[in-house]
Amino acid sequence: MSSTPTGSTEYLVGIAVRAHGLRGELVVEVHTDSPDERFAPGAALIAQRPGAPAATLTVESARPHSGRMLVRFVEAPDRDAAEALRGTRLLVAADALTAPADAEEFHVHQLEGLRAELEDGSVVGTVREVVHGPGGELLALARPEGPDALVPFVTVIVPTVDLDGGRVVLTPPEGLLDV
Protein backbone atom coordinates (compact mmCIF):
# COMPACT_ATOMS: atom_id res chain seq x y z
CA MET A 1 0.00 0.00 0.00
CA SER A 2 1.27 3.46 -0.80
CA SER A 3 -0.01 6.97 -1.03
CA THR A 4 -0.10 9.28 -4.03
CA PRO A 5 0.88 12.94 -3.90
CA THR A 6 -2.83 13.77 -3.75
CA GLY A 7 -3.14 11.63 -0.63
CA SER A 8 -5.28 8.80 -2.01
CA THR A 9 -4.33 5.29 -0.99
CA GLU A 10 -3.26 2.71 -3.55
CA TYR A 11 -3.24 -1.08 -3.39
CA LEU A 12 -0.91 -3.51 -5.10
CA VAL A 13 -2.63 -5.72 -7.69
CA GLY A 14 0.41 -7.10 -9.49
CA ILE A 15 4.11 -6.97 -10.23
CA ALA A 16 5.56 -7.05 -13.75
CA VAL A 17 8.04 -9.93 -13.63
CA ARG A 18 9.49 -10.05 -17.15
CA ALA A 19 8.72 -9.65 -20.84
CA HIS A 20 7.15 -12.62 -22.64
CA GLY A 21 7.45 -13.10 -26.38
CA LEU A 22 7.98 -10.40 -28.97
CA ARG A 23 4.58 -8.64 -28.93
CA GLY A 24 5.04 -6.70 -25.67
CA GLU A 25 3.35 -9.08 -23.26
CA LEU A 26 4.46 -9.05 -19.64
CA VAL A 27 4.37 -11.87 -17.13
CA VAL A 28 2.54 -10.41 -14.13
CA GLU A 29 2.56 -11.89 -10.64
CA VAL A 30 -1.02 -11.33 -9.49
CA HIS A 31 -1.74 -9.83 -6.06
CA THR A 32 -5.52 -9.51 -6.28
CA ASP A 33 -8.54 -11.75 -5.89
CA SER A 34 -10.12 -10.05 -8.92
CA PRO A 35 -7.62 -10.42 -11.77
CA ASP A 36 -10.38 -10.46 -14.40
CA GLU A 37 -11.58 -7.07 -13.19
CA ARG A 38 -8.18 -5.47 -12.46
CA PHE A 39 -6.61 -6.61 -15.76
CA ALA A 40 -9.67 -6.19 -17.98
CA PRO A 41 -9.03 -4.47 -21.33
CA GLY A 42 -9.22 -0.72 -20.81
CA ALA A 43 -8.40 -0.88 -17.09
CA ALA A 44 -5.98 1.83 -16.00
CA LEU A 45 -3.31 0.88 -13.47
CA ILE A 46 -0.78 3.03 -11.68
CA ALA A 47 2.76 1.96 -12.57
CA GLN A 48 5.33 2.51 -9.85
CA ARG A 49 9.02 1.88 -10.56
CA PRO A 50 11.99 2.69 -8.33
CA GLY A 51 13.54 5.99 -9.34
CA ALA A 52 10.77 6.89 -11.77
CA PRO A 53 7.64 9.01 -11.39
CA ALA A 54 4.34 7.16 -11.21
CA ALA A 55 2.69 6.61 -14.58
CA THR A 56 -0.55 5.15 -15.87
CA LEU A 57 -0.67 1.92 -17.86
CA THR A 58 -3.77 0.90 -19.81
CA VAL A 59 -4.48 -2.81 -20.19
CA GLU A 60 -4.81 -3.83 -23.83
CA SER A 61 -5.26 -7.55 -23.21
CA ALA A 62 -4.68 -10.16 -20.51
CA ARG A 63 -4.79 -13.91 -20.24
CA PRO A 64 -3.89 -16.51 -17.61
CA HIS A 65 -0.54 -18.28 -17.99
CA SER A 66 1.00 -20.83 -15.59
CA GLY A 67 -0.56 -19.35 -12.45
CA ARG A 68 0.24 -15.79 -13.50
CA MET A 69 -1.15 -13.40 -16.10
CA LEU A 70 0.23 -12.33 -19.46
CA VAL A 71 -0.70 -8.68 -19.86
CA ARG A 72 -0.20 -6.26 -22.76
CA PHE A 73 -0.34 -2.56 -22.06
CA VAL A 74 -1.15 0.07 -24.68
CA GLU A 75 1.96 1.97 -23.58
CA ALA A 76 4.28 -1.04 -24.19
CA PRO A 77 3.77 -2.09 -27.81
CA ASP A 78 6.87 -4.30 -28.14
CA ARG A 79 9.29 -6.49 -26.20
CA ASP A 80 11.76 -3.67 -25.49
CA ALA A 81 9.05 -1.47 -23.98
CA ALA A 82 7.72 -4.42 -21.97
CA GLU A 83 11.21 -5.30 -20.73
CA ALA A 84 11.61 -1.71 -19.49
CA LEU A 85 8.63 -2.36 -17.18
CA ARG A 86 10.32 -5.30 -15.42
CA GLY A 87 9.83 -4.94 -11.65
CA THR A 88 7.06 -2.36 -11.98
CA ARG A 89 4.51 -2.45 -9.19
CA LEU A 90 0.97 -2.27 -10.58
CA LEU A 91 -1.42 -0.44 -8.30
CA VAL A 92 -5.06 0.58 -8.20
CA ALA A 93 -6.37 3.64 -6.36
CA ALA A 94 -8.59 2.87 -3.38
CA ASP A 95 -11.35 5.09 -4.73
CA ALA A 96 -11.48 2.87 -7.84
CA LEU A 97 -12.41 -0.17 -5.75
CA THR A 98 -16.03 -1.14 -5.39
CA ALA A 99 -17.35 -2.95 -2.36
CA PRO A 100 -17.71 -6.70 -2.88
CA ALA A 101 -21.29 -7.63 -3.77
CA ASP A 102 -21.27 -10.60 -1.38
CA ALA A 103 -21.19 -9.79 2.35
CA GLU A 104 -18.90 -12.81 2.81
CA GLU A 105 -16.22 -11.36 0.50
CA PHE A 106 -13.55 -8.87 1.50
CA HIS A 107 -10.77 -6.88 -0.10
CA VAL A 108 -7.30 -7.83 1.13
CA HIS A 109 -6.71 -4.33 2.52
CA GLN A 110 -9.80 -4.70 4.70
CA LEU A 111 -8.34 -7.78 6.41
CA GLU A 112 -4.76 -6.63 6.86
CA GLY A 113 -4.25 -5.16 10.32
CA LEU A 114 -7.27 -6.84 11.92
CA ARG A 115 -6.78 -8.33 15.39
CA ALA A 116 -6.97 -12.14 15.37
CA GLU A 117 -8.56 -13.62 18.44
CA LEU A 118 -10.01 -16.89 19.66
CA GLU A 119 -13.69 -17.32 20.56
CA ASP A 120 -12.86 -16.62 24.22
CA GLY A 121 -11.45 -13.21 23.23
CA SER A 122 -7.77 -14.03 23.74
CA VAL A 123 -5.65 -12.29 21.14
CA VAL A 124 -3.36 -14.53 19.07
CA GLY A 125 -1.96 -11.93 16.67
CA THR A 126 -2.66 -9.49 13.89
CA VAL A 127 -3.41 -10.22 10.23
CA ARG A 128 -0.16 -9.17 8.54
CA GLU A 129 -1.15 -10.18 5.00
CA VAL A 130 -3.39 -12.41 2.94
CA VAL A 131 -1.41 -15.06 1.06
CA HIS A 132 -2.93 -16.35 -2.17
CA GLY A 133 -1.97 -20.02 -2.43
CA PRO A 134 -2.95 -22.67 -4.93
CA GLY A 135 -5.32 -24.22 -2.38
CA GLY A 136 -6.94 -20.95 -1.36
CA GLU A 137 -6.21 -17.92 0.78
CA LEU A 138 -4.25 -17.99 4.02
CA LEU A 139 -4.11 -15.33 6.71
CA ALA A 140 -0.53 -14.66 7.80
CA LEU A 141 -0.75 -13.73 11.47
CA ALA A 142 2.00 -11.72 13.11
CA ARG A 143 2.13 -13.04 16.66
CA PRO A 144 3.47 -11.16 19.67
CA GLU A 145 5.50 -14.20 20.71
CA GLY A 146 6.96 -16.54 18.14
CA PRO A 147 6.93 -16.76 14.36
CA ASP A 148 4.07 -15.85 12.04
CA ALA A 149 1.29 -18.40 11.71
CA LEU A 150 -0.56 -19.27 8.52
CA VAL A 151 -4.28 -19.84 8.99
CA PRO A 152 -6.52 -21.11 6.17
CA PHE A 153 -9.11 -18.42 5.43
CA VAL A 154 -12.12 -20.75 5.48
CA THR A 155 -15.36 -20.34 7.40
CA VAL A 156 -14.81 -23.36 9.64
CA ILE A 157 -11.56 -21.81 10.99
CA VAL A 158 -12.39 -18.11 10.58
CA PRO A 159 -16.15 -18.01 11.26
CA THR A 160 -16.29 -14.28 12.01
CA VAL A 161 -14.85 -11.28 10.21
CA ASP A 162 -15.87 -8.18 12.15
CA LEU A 163 -14.60 -5.21 10.15
CA ASP A 164 -16.34 -2.67 12.39
CA GLY A 165 -14.82 -4.31 15.49
CA GLY A 166 -11.40 -4.60 13.83
CA ARG A 167 -11.09 -8.34 14.39
CA VAL A 168 -11.33 -11.84 13.02
CA VAL A 169 -12.41 -14.68 15.29
CA LEU A 170 -10.61 -18.01 14.91
CA THR A 171 -11.64 -21.54 15.80
CA PRO A 172 -8.38 -23.30 14.88
CA PRO A 173 -8.01 -27.07 14.94
CA GLU A 174 -5.68 -28.40 17.60
CA GLY A 175 -2.03 -27.69 16.82
CA LEU A 176 -2.58 -25.06 14.11
CA LEU A 177 -1.22 -22.21 16.24
CA ASP A 178 1.44 -24.23 18.07
CA VAL A 179 4.97 -22.93 17.63
> DSSP per residue over 140-163, as a string?
EEE-SSSS-EEEE--TTT--EEET
**Does residue 65 share a domain with residue 119?**
no
**Does residue 78 share a domain with residue 131?**
no
Residues 45-58 pLDDT 10s: 999 988 889 999 99
**Does residue 34 share a domain with residue 74?**
yes
Domain end position, chosen among 69, 95, 121: 95
CATH number at residue 163: 2.30.30.240
Whether residue 93 is predicted with pLDDT greater than 50 in this model: the reply is: yes
**Does residue 143 share a domain with residue 85?**
no
**Does residue 162 share a domain with residue 116?**
yes
What is the pLDDT, as a whole number, of residue 170? 95
Q: pLDDT band at residue 74, thresholds of 50, 70 and 90? A: very high
Question: Average model confidence (pLDDT) for the chain?
Answer: 86
The CA-based diameter of the chain, rounded to the nearest angstrom, is 57
Q: Is residue 162 part of a domain?
A: yes
Specify the DSSP class assigned to residue 109: H
What is the pLDDT, as a whole number, of residue 99? 56
CA 35 to chain centre: 10
Residues 55-66 pLDDT 10s: 999 999 999 988
Mean pLDDT throughout 102-113? 72
What is the pLDDT, as a whole number, of residue 104? 64
The percentage of residues in the chain with a pLDDT greater than 70, rounded to a whole number, is 87
**C-alpha distances in Å from residue 97, one per residue of 76, 105, 116, 121:** 25, 13, 25, 32
In b/e form, how buried is each residue of 109-119, taking b as 16+ CB within 10 angstroms? ebbbebbbbee
Question: 94 and 9 in contact (C-beta within 8 Å)?
Answer: yes
Between 8 and 95, name the one with better pLDDT.
Answer: 95
Q: Is residue 176 part of a domain?
A: no
What is the pLDDT, as a whole number, of residue 97? 63
**Does residue 31 share a domain with residue 85?**
yes
Mean pLDDT throughout 93-100? 66
Residues 112-170 pLDDT 10s: 899 999 999 999 999 998 887 777 788 999 998 889 999 999 999 999 999 889 999 99
Tally of CB atoms within 10 A around 131: 14
**Does residue 75 share a domain with residue 31?**
yes
Q: Is residue 144 part of a domain?
A: yes
What is this structure's pTM?
Answer: 0.61
Domain range for residue 29?
Answer: 7-95
What is the pLDDT, as a whole number, of residue 178? 82
**Does residue 149 share a domain with residue 82?**
no
- Report CA Rg, the chain: 18
What is the pLDDT, as a whole number, of residue 55? 93
Whether residue 23 is predicted with pLDDT greater than 60 in this model: the reply is: yes
What is the pLDDT, as a whole number, of residue 81? 95
CATH number at residue 86: 2.40.30.60
